[in-house]
C-alpha cells in the first residue's frame, strides 16, 4: 500500500439494561449487546462474533478489521488509533494508544524545501506522509489480553469481505473521487480502486485480493505484519520510493 494515513478508531460495544429516551430520535434498545460502527457490514462482523460466543473485544477487533476493508479511506491496517475499555464489573477504564509512530529517519524539516518553505501536501500524500502502522499490533494486544474467540476467527469476516468483495456505497465512491488525482498517479492505487481506468460506481462489487492475502497472513500470525512477508514488502517499497519506514521501524 503506497499511501497510508493515520486514523482514530472508536467502536462502541455496549452492554446495558436501561437507556434514556432520546429527545428527538427513538433509540434502539438491546437487553444483551449492541455493535456500532460507520458501516453495516463492519457492524455485522462484530455481531457475528457475539453470536459465536465471543465477547465485546472479539466484536471490536472483528469490526476494526472489517472496516479496514469496506472503508479503507477512513481506517485500515496501515493506520492506528486509540481504544478505551470499560469493565463494568470491576469499574475500571483502560486505554490503549496504538497510533502510528514517526519513522526513525524522520526529521523536523522533512516537509520543508531547501528554502525552508512547506512542501505542498508532502505531509498528506505520498511516502513521506506515512507513519509506522499500529492498528494490527493494537488489535492483537487487546485481543491477546481480553479476547475469547481464536484470533483467526475474528479476522475471518474481513478476509471474506476482501476476497469475495462487497457492493460500494455512495460514501465510498465520494471518498475515492475526492482522492482521484492521488489515485491516478499511483499504479498500485489505480489497480485497486479503478477498473479498466474507471472508478467504481455505487452498487458495483469491489474485490481486494491482495488485501485478502495480507489479512490471511495476519490471521495466521499477526507479527508477520511487522516481521514477515508484509513487513518486507513495506520496507522494500519504501526504499524504492523515498519513504522512511524500515524493518527496524516495524
The confidence score (pLDDT) of residue 22 equals 47
Yes or no: say if 245 and 238 are a contact pair by the CB < 8 Å rule: yes
The confidence score (pLDDT) of residue 3 equals 37
pLDDT tens by residue, the chain, 250 residues = 333 333 344 444 444 434 444 457 888 888 888 999 999 999 999 999 999 999 999 999 999 999 999 998 888 899 999 999 998 889 999 999 999 999 999 999 999 999 999 999 999 988 999 999 999 999 999 999 999 999 999 999 999 999 999 999 999 999 999 989 889 888 889 999 999 889 999 999 999 999 999 999 999 999 999 999 999 999 999 999 999 999 999 9
The confidence score (pLDDT) of residue 31 equals 86
The confidence score (pLDDT) of residue 82 equals 93
Residue 199: phi and psi, rounded to 5, are: -75, 150
- What's the grid cell of residue 187? 499504479
The confidence score (pLDDT) of residue 41 equals 97
Which pTM does this prediction carry?
A: 0.86
Distance CA 81, CA 63 (A): 14
- What's the grid cell of residue 129? 506522509
Q: What is the CA radius of gyration of the chain?
A: 19
Residues 6+ apart with CB under 8 A from 112: 118, 119
Give me the DSSP letters along 181-240. Answer: HHHHT-HHHHHHHEETTEE--TTPEE--HHHHHHHHHHHH-TTHHHHSHHHHHHHHHHHH
For the chain, the domains span 12-165+207-240
Residue showing cell 478476509: 159
The confidence score (pLDDT) of residue 19 equals 46
| Residues 172, 27, 67: CA angle, nearest 5 degrees | 25
Amino acid at each position: 500500500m503506497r499511501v497510508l494515513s493515520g486514523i482514530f478508531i472508536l467502536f462502541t460495544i455496549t452492554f446495558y439494561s436501561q437507556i434514556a429516551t432520546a429527545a428527538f430520535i427513538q433509540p434502539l434498545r438491546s437487553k444483551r449487546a449492541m455493535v456500532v460502527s460507520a458501516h453495516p457490514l463492519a457492524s455485522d462482523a462484530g455481531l457475528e462474533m457475539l453470536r459465536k460466543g465471543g465477547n465485546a473485544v472479539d466484536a471490536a477487533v472483528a469490526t476494526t478489521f472489517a472496516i479496514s476493508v469496506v472503508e479503507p479511506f477512513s481506517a485500515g491496517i496501515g493506520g492506528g488509533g486509540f481504544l478505551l475499555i470499560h469493565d463494568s464489573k470491576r469499574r475500571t477504564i483502560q486505554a490503549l494508544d496504538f497510533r502510528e509512530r514517526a519513522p526513525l529517519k524522520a526529521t523536523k524539516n522533512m516537509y520543508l524545501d531547501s528554502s525552508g518553505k512547506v512542501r505542498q501536501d508532502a505531509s498528506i500524500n505520498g511516502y513521506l506522509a506515512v507513519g509506522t502502522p499500529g492498528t494490527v499490533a493494537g488489535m492483537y494486544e487487546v485481543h491477546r489480553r481480553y479476547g475469547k474467540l481464536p484470533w483467526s476467527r475474528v479476522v475471518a469476516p474481513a478476509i471474506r469481505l476482501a476476497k469475495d468483495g462487497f457492493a460500494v456505497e455512495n460514501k465510498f465512491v465520494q471518498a475515492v473521487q475526492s482522492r482521484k488525482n492521488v489515485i491516478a498517479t499511483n499504479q498500485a492505487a489505480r489497480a485497486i480502486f479503478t477498473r479498466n481506468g474507471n472508478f467504481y460506481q455505487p452498487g458495483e462489487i469491489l474485490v481486494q485480493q491482495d488485501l485478502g492475502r495480507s489479512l490471511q497472513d495476519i490471521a495466521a500470525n499477526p507479527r508477520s505484519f511487522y516481521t514477515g512477508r508484509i513487513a518486507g514488502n513495506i520496507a522494500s517499497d519504501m526504499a524504492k520510493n523515498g519513504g522512511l519506514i524500515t524493518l527496524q521501524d516495524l
